[in-house]
Copies of this chain bind each other. A is one copy, B any other.
Amino acid sequence: MSVMVDDDLWSAVGDPIRRRMLDLLLNDGSGTATSLSERLPVTRQAVAKHLVVLDRVGLVHATTAGREKQFRVDQAQLARAVAQLAEVGAAWDARLQRIKRIAETIQRRRGTTNDSEKKQ
């Protein structure tokens, strides 16, 4: 019960801005704090802070070239994060289905023809 989750990794992808950043980086292959901030509703500095967070949990890596600092996604680590999402989702899903089955069984045992709880 209660799937084990790396809270740092989870909370890293928990932020909507960070998810959009990962989206952009995956689409473009790489990007800088400045280039990302141009396509996001926050300032460069805010983006830079998020990049620090993502870098700290290993979801992105940076390579400095001259005055630019290019970031790109670490696919392996993102795969791990995705796996955790799937894990939690699957655990809850299974439990919900179990509860639903039990509820239906009870209804059936009562011989009820009440159809007020068909789908969700």
Measuring CB to CB, which residues of chain A are less than 8 angstroms from any residue of chain B?
Answer: 1-2, 5, 7, 10-11, 14, 16, 19-20, 22-23, 26-27, 75-76, 78-79, 81-82, 85-86, 88-89, 92-93, 95-96, 99-100, 120
Interface residues of chain A: helix, strand, loop or mixed (majority): helix
A16 partner residues in chain B, CB cutoff 8 A = 5, 7, 10-11
- Nearest Cβ in chain B — how far from A6, in angstroms? 10
Q: Which residues of B sit under 8 angstroms from A86, Cβ to Cβ?
A: 85-86, 89, 93
9 additional A-B residue pairs with CB within 8 Å, beyond A26-B95, A79-B96 = A10-B14, A11-B14, A26-B92, A76-B120, A78-B92, A82-B89, A82-B93, A82-B96, A86-B93
